[in-house]
Amino acid sequence: METSRRELAAMIALGSTGIALSSTPSPADAGTSPASPALVHHVFFWLKRPGSQADREQLIAGLRTLRDIPVIRKLEIGVPASTESRDVVDASFDVSELMFFDSVKDQKTYQDHPIHQQFVKSCEHLWAKVVVYDMATV
């Protein structure tokens, strides 16, 4: 029996079991899709010792502990990208975190969570400046 291109594409998309294939979500992604979060929380950190690889790594390690807070839908941690320099691009920060929440209430739960409080205590000596942008999706 000859298989059409459309049937072949459908079999590939579904895998040999007939079940759609997808990547395994991280604990911070479990149960929801990041496509339409109610609240986006973006934080930028400037280190007291800019250029210190050890301080940057310590801050990133601290941020990774936040993934254990159940109300965080998704968490991304990053550093400035090596994109072209343009007047509208601010790459002066050292580390950034981007979080997605289902509600303002969940973001407040995150702020008060013991893991977040411990992160602040253990890492605040690393940063000279922090800027937060909270955005409600529309």
pLDDT digits (tens, 9 = 90+) for 67-117: 999 999 999 999 999 999 999 999 999 999 999 999 999 999 999 999 999
Q: What is the largest CA-CA distance in the chain?
A: 68
Is pLDDT at 43 greater than 70 in this prediction? yes
Is pLDDT at 30 greater than 70 in this prediction? no
How far is Cα 9 from Cα 1, in angstroms, rounded to an integer? 16
For the whole model, what pTM was predicted?
A: 0.73
Work out the average pLDDT over 52-75.
98
Residue from 98, 38, 40, 100 nearest 71 by CA: 100
Percent of the chain with pLDDT over 90: 72
Q: What is the predicted pLDDT for the residue at 37?
A: 75
Query: Mean of the per-residue pLDDT values for the chain?
Result: 83
Q: What is the predicted pLDDT for the residue at 47?
A: 98
